[in-house]
Structure 1
Amino acid sequence: MPLPPPAYFTPGLDADPELAAAVNGELARQRDGIELIASENIVSSLVLAAQGSVLTNKTVEGAAYARYYGGAEFADAIEALAIERAKKLFDCRFGNVQPHSGSNANAGVFLGLLKLGDAILSMNVAAGGHISHGHPATLTGRDYSITHYGVNRESELIDLDEVRDLALASRPKMIVAGGSAYPRAIDFAGLRAIADEVGAHLLVDMAHFAGLVATGLYPHPFPHAHIVTTTTYKSLRGARGGMVLWNDATLSSRINAGIFPGVQGSVMLHAVAGKAACLFEALRPDFSAYNAAVLANARALAATLANHGLRIVTGGTDMGLMLVDLSSTGVTGDVAAKALETAGLAVNKNMIPFDPRPPEAPSGLRLSSNAGTTRGFGLSEFERIGDWIARIIRHPSDMAAIKATREEVLALCRSFPIY
């Protein structure tokens, strides 16, 4: 029997039955399924309340306390609060919390600090990089001269010698570190040395490991990075949006102008409030315990899958994210993801380094422990999840196994309710 929606979730929705049905359907999906997609998490009721507030009504442009519109007294206080919390959490001097997304944060930094056509050196999407770092299908890929570095074929790790050779050949104005599917710690000091050698800025996109950075469980980008960007909704468990952080005062006006009016207009103030709320939560002691559990749970899941004979790209993980190579199973990522979703396990297909298959039907899966850990899952739960994933991958067409797994998933979810 489905659980009723929470009281705070429904006010006003009853006036639009079709919309209410879809929203409550999504709530039921989240409650009764296990989220393993690395770009998702489960926000608190505080974040939901901040984002669903009267701040939706307010339009502001420009920086806090220097707006183009009036009536911004409380808007200024909210944005300033989010900035101060971000600076405290990541021990930096300056921040911009206005970006609507991580992609906007990156695009704004590029626009503010580079000239159109300047050279950028970033990780190839096929090796684990992010499309906003210069993929040819994006504006950044079209507006700048992009060179990509990858990973070593044997170790599947970033090869600093290759990065240096490419930097010396392309003379980039910006080197970008971080990505969407690289599960290992990055040598920021080594990349900064290369950046200094060629006169480039080093930008670190820490979207997938920001929470671990904040709690000392992953190498800190500062002081090596000139600029750090992040989303606020993955490892930070907050509002959907982005942030830019830096320490050099001479960059401030250019970065801020790159965000507004460079790549976006009015501030989404309700989202900024949601960011302030999640940063408040991230500054509490229990956030450290959460991130320690994220890391332990990810490693337990990876180890369980490896024990079932599934290869983990790079042999493990240093964050909540991992890549699973399905090549030995004969099952492609798209087929596996569809079967797992039917069983109540939400994952995403993903290319692995040097993948011979296309992005639409790649050889891998990308998994994350972030949302499950937020829900309260521990090592034993993630070991069970690993068993279920292996079972479905081995028999993706076995509807009886899928149905049986779905019942087990549902029982586990009901033991760890959300909202």
Structure 2
Amino acid sequence: MAYESGEFLGIETLRQMYPDLDAVLNLTITHTMWRKRQTINMIASENVMSPLAMLVYLNDMMHRYAEGKPYKRFYQGLIYVDELEVKTQELMGELLGTKHVDLRPISGTIANATAFRTFTKPGDKAVVAPVQAGAHVSHTKFGTLGALGIEQIEMPFDIEEWNIDVDKARKLIEEVKPKIVTLGGSLYLFPHPTKEIADVAHAVGAKVIHDVAHVLGLVVGGAWENPLKLGADVITSSTHKTFPGPQGGIIASSNEEDYKEMGKVVFPMFVSNHHLHRLAAMAVTAIEMKLWGSEYARQVVRNAKALAEALAAEGFNVVMERKGYTTSHQVVVDVANLGRGTRIAKLLEDAYIIVNKNMLPWDRPEDVKDPSGLRLGTQELTRWGMKEGEMKEIARLMKMVVIDKRDPSEVRQKVMEFRREFLEIHYGFKLTREDEVKLLKIMLHAES
């Protein structure tokens, strides 16, 4: 029998009638239940939104198109979008201490591309945080920087400090006289020396672009200093890592002229329509961070330190013990002697513990497919209400798989039992089921 548009049939009937639909629903529902209820997720670049943020994410703006900027659009029908975008900019500006915030980049990489293109032209030089220090691929010749024709020159790395070598970096910047200097990274244990680098960069006329994608939630929560206050000209970021919002990007600057120039680049060079439905979820998350961001950010860091200490106590080689392991949401473990990153990450996944393999400073370029490290993040664990005691239990579960070589399927049952105790988002607005249904009806059917 054929399905007539507008006809109401039960979902189970539809799934029986249309195998493709059944497959899509099965995959989506299974993934959602698995990741949100059964796994311990420590991917350092992920997080979960609050129920309220998720519900307002499902709004009519996902069907609409907005080229330009608020109140200067190329399409009609955006009178409420304009007001929401401005409100969201204001909320993020309050958190970042600036009035100059652009939400149009649809990812952190697009935010980087916008900043790079604004202050350079093909053939210019960029001094960048070294890959060994965790620089994101978009900062390199293999990513956005290279695609824009900008020459990559890496700052020296001090492996003992797991950071940029400030003295050597100063000399390099003075010698090269680049147009831009980038800081920040995707493997980011300790803050990069923003003030020291900004001083020398500005002396040679370079702009400092600090990519805070991984630590935006720690910055707005006050656990890390705001790079704009330390001399960075621009911060770029995604909005879904330690900042627990929807996927997207952001640019902020303390300088109005720089802000305006970047605005001319993000549209029309890199973004046309900028995924308007995420604005409401972004605004809700910003309000939540105003209310609970400080408590959340500090717990994220406490959990990272506790996880590092617990893993070390269980026999793992956790890097940077001499510096207290970490001051961010991330923990780095060298598993070269345990089977290397690819194999260990897969074993842990089989036990429903989700981590990612990661290159470490001593890896060779050819090790990229099987590096020696694992990168772990505590931001999502913190959102689910876990604290220092739970970090010890997670370390024990990881030891069972990696060091004791227990069958991952056996450990999986323990992981699921553990996870059942943490099914409610913390540091965000809570809704009753009645409120959830009411909002869902509005978002899906426009029923008041």
TM-score w.r.t. the length of structure 2 is 0.86
Residue 306 of structure 2: aligned partner: 300
State the distance in 2 between where 1:141 and 1:205 align. 17
Query: CA contact under 8 A between 1:311 and 1:325: conserved in structure 2?
Result: yes
Residue 227 of structure 2: aligned partner: 221
Query: CA contact under 8 A between 1:111 and 1:262: conserved in structure 2?
Result: no
What is the correspondence of 1:227-242 to structure 2 with a 5 Å cutoff? 227-242=234-249
Aligned to 2:228, the other structure's residue is in SS state coil
Residue 33 of structure 2: aligned partner: 28
Aligned to 1:121, the other structure's residue is in SS state strand
1:82 aligns with 2:88: yes
Aligned length: 402
Residue 334 of structure 1: aligned partner: 342
Higher Cα Rg: structure 1 or 2?
2
State the distance in 2 between where 1:418 and 1:28 align. 13
Aligned to 2:201, the other structure's residue is in SS state helix
Query: CA contact under 8 A between 1:37 and 1:368: conserved in structure 2?
Result: yes
- Specify which of 311, 314, 327 is matched with residue 317 of structure 2: 311
Aligned to 1:275, the other structure's residue is in SS state helix
Q: 1:271 to 1:24 in 2, by over 3 A?
A: same
Residue 45 of structure 2: aligned partner: 39
**Cα deviation, residue 157, structure 1:** 2.3
Pick which of 349-358 and 170-179 moved more: 349-358
User: 1:230-262 deviations in whole A, cap 9, x for unaligned?
Assistant: 111011100100100011111122101121112
Residue 384 of structure 2: aligned partner: 375
Query: CA contact under 8 A between 1:333 and 1:349: conserved in structure 2?
Result: yes
Residue 255 of structure 1: aligned partner: 262
Aligned to 2:320, the other structure's residue is in SS state helix
Code of the residue aligned with 1:19 in structure 2: it is: V
**Cα deviation, residue 113, structure 1:** 2.1
Residue 322 of structure 1: aligned partner: 331
1:275 aligns with 2:282: yes
State the distance in 2 between where 1:67 and 1:91 align. 27
State the distance in 2 between where 1:205 and 1:377 align. 28
- Specify which of 148, 170, 181 is matched with residue 176 of structure 2: 170
TM-score w.r.t. the length of structure 1 is 0.92
**Cα deviation, residue 150, structure 1:** 4.4
Residue 188 of structure 2: aligned partner: 182
C-alpha RMSD over aligned residues? 1.8
1:139 aligns with 2:144: yes
Aligned to 2:61, the other structure's residue is in SS state helix
User: 1:310-366 deviations in whole A, cap 9, x for unaligned?
Assistant: 232232111111211123x24100001000001110000001112146111000000
Query: CA contact under 8 A between 1:351 and 1:364: conserved in structure 2?
Result: yes
Code of the residue aligned with 1:27 in structure 2: it is: T
Residue 362 of structure 2: aligned partner: 354
Pick which of 296-305 and 384-393 moved more: 384-393
Query: CA contact under 8 A between 2:90 and 2:99: conserved in structure 1?
Result: no
Residue 131 of structure 2: aligned partner: 125
User: 1:202-246 deviations in whole A, cap 9, x for unaligned?
Assistant: 111111111111122112212211001111101110010010001
Query: CA contact under 8 A between 2:385 and 2:424: conserved in structure 1?
Result: no
Query: CA contact under 8 A between 1:355 and 1:363: conserved in structure 2?
Result: yes
**Cα deviation, residue 395, structure 1:** 4.5
State the distance in 2 between where 1:213 and 1:325 align. 27
Query: CA contact under 8 A between 1:151 and 1:353: conserved in structure 2?
Result: no
Code of the residue aligned with 2:390 in structure 1: it is: E
Code of the residue aligned with 2:252 in structure 1: it is: L
User: 1:79-133 deviations in whole A, cap 9, x for unaligned?
Assistant: 1111001100111120000111000000011112221221111123233110111
Aligned to 1:283, the other structure's residue is in SS state helix
Aligned to 1:266, the other structure's residue is in SS state coil
Sequence identity (%): 29
Q: 1:240 to 1:123 in 2, by over 3 A?
A: same
Code of the residue aligned with 1:211 in structure 2: it is: G
Residue 3 of structure 2: aligned partner: none
Aligned to 1:234, the other structure's residue is in SS state coil
State the distance in 1 between where 2:386 and 2:165 align. 35
Point out where structure 1 has 5 or more consecutive residues left out of the alignment.
1-9
